[in-house]
């Protein structure tokens, strides 16, 4: 594989690989949130803020992959 082909593949590969972890993480987070709300529907509003903060942190890992994509593509 020559360098140009490797450069073309590396960026999309970084995005794809970096999305696996956050995908699993967001799924688990959402499942836990729905479980909690199903068990006790009245806390839904209070839980929302505790749902979004870890969501933002998990999501950041996927965005690192996107930044790698930008930097590697040039």
Contact set with another protein (CB under 8 A):
3-4, 6-7, 46, 49, 52-53, 55-57, 59-60, 63-64, 66-67, 70-74
Minimum distance from residue 72 beta carbon to another protein (Å): 7
**Shortest gap between Cβ of 32 and another protein (angstroms)?**
18
Shortest Cβ 60–another protein spacing (Å): 5
Number of residues written out for the chain: 74
Kindly give the interhelix angle for 44-73 and 3-39, rounded to the nearest 10 degrees. 180
Sequence-distant (6+) residues with CB within 8 A of 70 are 11
């Amino acid at each position: 594989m020559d360098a140009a082909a490797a450069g073309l593949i590396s960026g999309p590969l970084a995005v794809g690989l970096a999305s696996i972890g956050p995908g699993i993480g967001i799924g688990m987070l959402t499942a836990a949130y729905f479980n909690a709300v199903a068990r006790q529907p009245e806390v839904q509003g209070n839980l929302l803020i505790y749902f979004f903060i870890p969501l933002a942190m998990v999501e950041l890992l996927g965005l690192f992959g996107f930044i790698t994509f930008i930097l590697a593509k040039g």
